[in-house]
Chain A
C-alpha cells in the first residue's frame, strides 16, 4: 500500500516558482493560462493496517512535518 501526500502552497501565499513557470508557459504559447502553483508529492510505502487510527496519525504527520501550515496545504490519498 502506498500513501501519496500532496503539498501545495496556500492560495494566498506567493509562489515565485509557480509565477516563473507560468511566465515560461505563456511565452511557449500556452493560451488562457490563469495561474500556476507548484507543490510536491511525497510517496510513502506502508505495510499493514490503514484504518481510522492510521488516518489520524497521517494527518498529524502531514501537519507537523510534511507541510508547513503557515504557507502550505496538504491532502493525502491511498493508492495501490
Chain B
C-alpha cells in the first residue's frame, strides 16, 4: 500500500480490521471492495467502509438501474411550448424543476419508503413523507401539495389491516402537521404486496425561476452549516450489520426505525425558506436523508468540484458517546447541510435562532477534491468525494423473461363461462365492493386536503386540482398517479406504457394539459434475471410513453428487493404526472352534476379481458395480455377531449380503467350532492361477443364524457370531424335506477343506485371497523 493508513479512530471499537465477512455484511461485493482499496490506495477504515457502502447502495447510486434510466427523456422535445421547459434536469439535484410560466416553476418528485413502512408502518410512512418534503424545499420551493401511491395485500388479514391503518395514519400525521394539502393518490390491494407494502410519497413545490437553489459546495473557505434536529442513533438498524461488531451495549439504545418529528420539519421548512429569501446567503443546500451526513457532504463537494472538511464534535448530538461510524451513518430526520459565504455567519444564525433551531458551523469547503471527516481532531475518513458519487459500480444484465409468462399472455377466455343475467348482479357487486375499486374516503378523510385554501378538486376524482395564488398570478395544477401492477406482470413493456397513458388520460379528464412526470420503480431483486427483465422492459415502456406525450422526467426513485418469501411483488412502475389547467372554467370532475346528461363513450368496446380486476376477483386468474395501447390514437383523442372541455361542452369526464366500463359509469353517478340513476344501452352488436369483455374488460384509450342534452349533437359532430370514435352509452335519470340493456331488449339487470353507492362508499370503513377480524 502506497498511502499511509489513517490514525487510529478515537473509538477503539472502530479500529477493527476489515474482514471479508464485514465487507459482505455491508452489502458490498469482493470486487467492489477491491475498487475501494484502489481508490484510497490503502485499506479503508470501518467508518470509510460504512460510507462507501451507503453511497454505493442502490438507493444512492442506482447501480442496477442507472443505464436503464438513461432511456428517459429529460428535456422537452417541443422547444416552442409556452410552459414545461426543464429548468433543472433529473439527477442534477434533489428534484427536477419545470417552468410553469410567468417566471414561476415547480419542483416535484416521488420517493419510496417501502421497507421502513413494512417494519413500522406509522413511522415508516411518516418519515417517507418528511423526506420527500425536504427534497422539495431544498430546491428553494414552497411545498404546496402531497400525494401517495400505496399498495397493500388483500384487505382481509389482521396484518394487512394493521399495515394499512398504520401507513395511512403516519402519512396523515406528518402531512397534516406540516400544513401541506394531501390530494390522495392511488391505492391498490393485491396479494402480491402482502408483507411488502409499497409506500411512495410525492411532494410538489413552487418557486420563482430566480430562486432555484443548488446542492453544491463551492468557494474555498466557505463555512458548512448543520441546521435542524440533532443527530441520534436512528435508522442504524438499516445498517445494523455492523452493530454486533461495534458494541453490545450501544445495541440496546439503537432504534432501527427513524422517528419523524413533523413539528421540527415545519420549523426547518420555514427557517430554510426565510434563509433562502436573503439574497446571496445560500451557496448550496442539501437535505440529509438516508445516511444524511455522509450523503450530503460528499454530494455537495462532488457537485461543486471542491473538497469538504467537517469535525464531528461540532455536530449537534442527541445521545452521548456516538462514534464516527454512527454519526456518519445516522438516518436522523429533519436535518440539512447549508454552505454560506464566509463572513455571513451571523445572518444564518439569526434566522435559525428565531425558529429555535440548531445552526452550527461544522466545517468548511476546501481546496482539492477530498471529503475529510474528523472527530476530536483526528481524521476518521479521507475519501475523494467524486469517487463516492460518480465512481460507484454499475451493473447491466441481460434479463430473461420468467418461464410461463408468455403462455399467460396467450391465454384466452374461451374456456371461461361468460357472465349472464344470473351472475351479473353478484359479479358487479364483487367488483364495486373490492377495496381497489371502492371509495377511498376512509383514507382521505384522514388527510388534510384543504389546508392552504387552494384545493378545488378533492381526492377521489381522476386528478387532484389546486389553485396557486402566486403573488397575484394564478396557476391551476392537476396531479394524478397511476400504475397497474397486474398489467406489468403480464407484459412489463406494455404495462409501463399503460402507466403513462392512463395517467395522462386522468389529467386530460380533469381538463389539464400534462407537463412533466416523476416515477417510482418498485421491483424485486434485480439480480434475478427475470426481475431484471421486467425492470428493463417496464422502463422501456415508460420511456416510450414519456416521449409520445412529450413528458420530460424530473427524476424519481428506484426501490428494488421488494420481495417476500413468496416471491417478488408484481412489477410496479408508479408514475405521477403534473398538468396545468389554463382556466378555472376548464376544471372537470369525474361525477355528473345535473341528472339529465348523456354519457358518451370514446374509444369503443374492444374485446379484451387480460389482466382485469374481474378475472382476478371472479375467476382468480392473472392471465391474458395487458390491453393494447395505441399512442397516436390516444394523443389525438386527448386533444379532442381538451377541446370539448374548453368549449364548455363537458359536464364531467372519467377515464375507464380498473373494473371496466360498468364500474366507470357507476362512479360518474356518485355526485357530490346527489346520486343519479342511469340507463346504459349497449349496441346489439355486443351480444355477438362476450359480455364480460364488454362490461369488465379494461381496454385502454377510453374516456366517458357527460354531456348536457343541448350539446350532444355538437360533441358528436366534433368527434366525427376529428375522427374520434364516439358512441352514446347511457342517459342519466333522477329515478335512482341503474340498468343495462343490450340493443332493444328488456333490461338485463337493474340496480338501485343508492344501494350500489353505499356498498362502494362504505366497504373500506366497514372492513377497518373490524380490524381484529380475519386470518392472522
Contact = CB atoms under 8 A, between A and B. Distances in A.
Are chains A and B touching directly in their complex (CB below 8 angstroms)? Answer: yes
Interface of A: 24, 27-28
Contacts of A28: 772
Contacts of A27: 772
| Chain B: interface size category | under 10
B771 to A, nearest CB: 8
Interface string B623-644: 0000000000000000000000
Contacts of B772: 24, 27-28
A27 B771 CA distance: 11
Interface string B764-776: 0000000010000
Interface in B716-775: 772
Nearest to B773: A27
B345 to A, nearest CB: 33
Nearest to A24: B772
A53 to B, nearest CB: 30
A1 B445 CA distance: 45
Interface in B262-292: none
Nearest to A27: B772
B284 to A, nearest CB: 40
* Nearest 3 A/B pairs, CB to CB: A27-B772, A24-B772, A28-B772
Nearest to B770: A27
A66 to B, nearest CB: 19
B265 to A, nearest CB: 23
A10 to B, nearest CB: 26
A28 B772 CA distance: 9
B161 to A, nearest CB: 13
A57 B438 CA distance: 56
Nearest to A23: B772
3 contacts: A24-B772, A27-B772, A28-B772
Nearest to A28: B772
A27 B769 CA distance: 13
Interface string B186-220: 00000000000000000000000000000000000
A24 B771 CA distance: 9
A24 to B, nearest CB: 7
A40 to B, nearest CB: 17
A59 to B, nearest CB: 28
A24 B773 CA distance: 11
B775 to A, nearest CB: 16
A28 B776 CA distance: 13
B465 to A, nearest CB: 34
A75 to B, nearest CB: 28
A28 B771 CA distance: 12
A24 B772 CA distance: 8
A28 B773 CA distance: 11
A24 B161 CA distance: 14
A5 to B, nearest CB: 22
Nearest to B771: A24
A77 to B, nearest CB: 26
